Structure 1
Amino acid sequence: MRIGKLDGFDDILYGVDTDIIWKNSQKSREDLGFDSTKEFYQNKIRIGKPFNVNLIQQKLDELIDGNGQTLFEILIEIIESHKNITLILD
């Protein structure tokens, strides 16, 4: 699975005033869980610049230690940070 830039996703939500219904959210939770998140961080570390490898390594370490967020949780946090958007997990 290819996942784009999370900052870009956050950016496109600015000014949006709507409800988002996330269909099959449980499947997304599984698909964007630990393994996908670990692979996501490892790929960024392998690529190196322009990514902040030290920060990404820290996030990977937190994930492995059980303290980090999965991609699913990061996406939820991004959506919920926009007060004009109501997120409905279906």
Structure 2
Amino acid sequence: MREKFIIDGARFDTIEGFFCEVDEVFTKDLTFRTGHNLDAYNDILRGGFGRHERGEPIAILWKNAAKSRSDFGYPATAKYCEDKLKRCHPLNRDIVKKQIIDALNEIGPTLMDEIIEITLYDKRSGHDCTLEFEE
């Protein structure tokens, strides 16, 4: 049986708030601060950060998901990419600039879509998550 974890969209409305929620839900007694980015989120889902063992299958219930879909729509996606552009490798700048343009034109995946994709599937990290939404 999968251990169940609850992410509650009522507890955050920014991507930084989401990362704080992830720390609260999935980590315990760490002696370091986790990275607050999507790569770190992916790593945390893999386990080994105090709440579930590395590679252990887990179930995630996302409460208030409709609010999160709104919070992490195209405007938040554009802002996230603008922030990413400030610190990305110079060879990636054109890709990130296109992501900003796409988000401003409401094309392609939103930040919420990216979070869902990472949650449900990432063969590199070896995590095994199910995801259920409570609107």
**Mean Cα deviation higher: 48-57 or 27-36:** 48-57
Specify every segment of 5 or more residues in structure 2 that has no aligned partner in the other structure, as ranges: 1-13, 20-35, 47-54
**Mean Cα deviation higher: 31-40 or 60-69:** 60-69
Q: Cα deviations across residues 7-58 of structure 1 (Å, max 9, x unaligned)?
A: 111112122411100000000000111111111111222x244473222112
Which protein, 1 or 2, shows the higher relative CO under an 8 Å CA cutoff with sep ≥ 6? 1
Q: Secondary structure at the match of 1:79?
A: helix
Q: Are 1:22 and 2:66 an aligned pair?
A: no
Alignment RMSD (CA, Å): 2.1
Question: Given that residues 75 and 103 in structure 2 are in contact (C-alpha distance below 8 angstroms), is that contact kept between their aligned partners in structure 1?
Answer: no
Task: Name the structure 2 match of 1:13.
Answer: 45
Give the TM-score normalised by structure 2: 0.57
Q: Secondary structure at the match of 2:109?
A: coil
Question: Given that residues 60 and 68 in structure 1 are in contact (C-alpha distance below 8 angstroms), is that contact kept between their aligned partners in structure 2?
Answer: no
Q: Secondary structure at the match of 1:39?
A: helix
Give the TM-score normalised by structure 1: 0.82
**Mean Cα deviation higher: 20-29 or 3-12:** 3-12
Aligned pair partner of 1:34 in 65, 74, 91? 74
Identical residues among aligned pairs (%): 29
Question: Given that residues 74 and 103 in structure 2 are in contact (C-alpha distance below 8 angstroms), is that contact kept between their aligned partners in structure 1?
Answer: yes
Distance 1:25 1:5 in 2: 20
Q: Highest CA radius of gyration, 1 or 2?
A: 2
Structure richer in helix, relative to its length: 1
Q: Cα deviations across residues 52-79 of structure 1 (Å, max 9, x unaligned)?
A: 3222112222223433211101000111
Aligned pair partner of 1:57 in 78, 97, 102? 97
Give the total of aligned pairs.
Answer: 89
The 1:16–1:34 alpha-carbon spacing in structure 2 relative to 1, beyond 3 Å, is: farther
Q: Secondary structure at the match of 2:60?
A: strand
